[in-house]
A and B are shown apart, each in its own frame.
Chain A
Amino acid sequence: AIQMTQSPSSLSASVGDRVTITCRASQGIRNDLGWYQQKPGKAPKLLIYAASSLQSGVPSKFSGSGSGTDFTLTISSLQPEDFATYYCLQDFSYPLTFGGGTKVEIK
C-alpha cells in the first residue's frame, strides 16, 4: 500500500496567517490526491481533488499543488472557521490511503 506522510501533525496559527500543509507519497501518484477538512464530530469534507482542483462551493482561499510524490495544501488567510484537522488522500491505487492528518489550532 502507498504510504502518505503528512506534515506537520499539528500547527498553531493566528487568524489571517497563511498556512501550508504538506503530504508526501511513498511512490509516485501522478496528481491523484485530494485534501479534506474535518471538524470535531463531523464527516470529512472534500476541499481539493486531483491535487489542485477546487471542489464546488469551497472558498478560493484553499489551494493545492504538487504532482508525483510531493503535495501542498495552502490556506491563504486563516479564518476562525478553518481551525480543523486536514487530511490528504491518494486515489491513485488500491487501497486508498489517507495521511495521518494535520490539526490546525488557534495560536
Chain B
Amino acid sequence: QVQLQESGPGLVKPSETLSLTCAVSGDSISGSYWWSWVRQPPGQGLEWIGEIFHSGSTNYNPSLKSRVTISVDKSKNLFSLKLNSVAAADTAVYFCASTSVEMTARGGALDIWGQGTMVTVSS
C-alpha cells in the first residue's frame, strides 16, 4: 500500500517560490501511478493543482499552469511541487495524492492521500 508524506517550508514570502516534496513509500515512484497535488485554503474547498506520471507526462490546472511545475525524482522516490510568484491567496494546506492506473481503469481517482502540510504566504 502506497503511503505519502509531504514536507517543505511552512512559511513563504510573497513573490517567492513555494517548494514542497512528497515522499513515496510502499512502492516505487516509477510504478503505475499518477502523482497529484491538491490544495485547500483555510476554511475552503479543495482545488486540484496537477499531476505527473513517472515518464514525465504532466497535466496542470489551467488556473495555475503558468506558475506550477511538478516533477519526479526517481533516485529519492519522491515528487515535487513548485509554485512561483506566490501571494496570500496561495496560503493553503497542500496535499499530495496518488491514483493507481488500476483505479483509473476502474473509473476512480485520488485514492491515496498524504496528511497535508500547511503553507502560509506572508512577509
Contact = CB atoms under 8 A, between A and B. Distances in A.
Nearest to B96: A43
Secondary structure class of chain B's binding surface, majority of residues: loop
Given A87-B45, A95-B62, A98-B48, A44 B113 contact: yes
A3 interface: no
The A interface is mostly helix, strand or loop, or mixed, namely loop
Given A43-B116, A44-B46, A101-B45, A34 B62 contact: no
Contacts of A44: 46, 95, 110, 113
24 contacts: A1-B63, A34-B109, A36-B110, A42-B116, A43-B95, A43-B116, A44-B46, A44-B113, A49-B107, A49-B111, A50-B108, A55-B111, A89-B46, A89-B110, A91-B107, A91-B109, A94-B61, A96-B48, A96-B109, A97-B48, A98-B46, A98-B47, A98-B48, A101-B45
Given A95-B62, A96-B48, A89 B107 contact: no
B114 A43 contact: yes
Interface in A15-46: 31-32, 34, 36, 42-46
Pairs of residues from A and B, 4 with the lowest C-beta to C-beta distance, nearest first: A49-B108, A50-B107, A43-B113, A91-B109
B76 interface: no
A34 B97 CA distance: 14
Interface of B: 45-48, 50, 59-63, 95, 97, 103, 106-111, 113-116
Contacts of B116: 42-43
Nearest to B60: A95
A55 B109 CA distance: 11
Contact of A95 (B61, B95, B111, B113): B61
B45 to A, nearest CB: 5
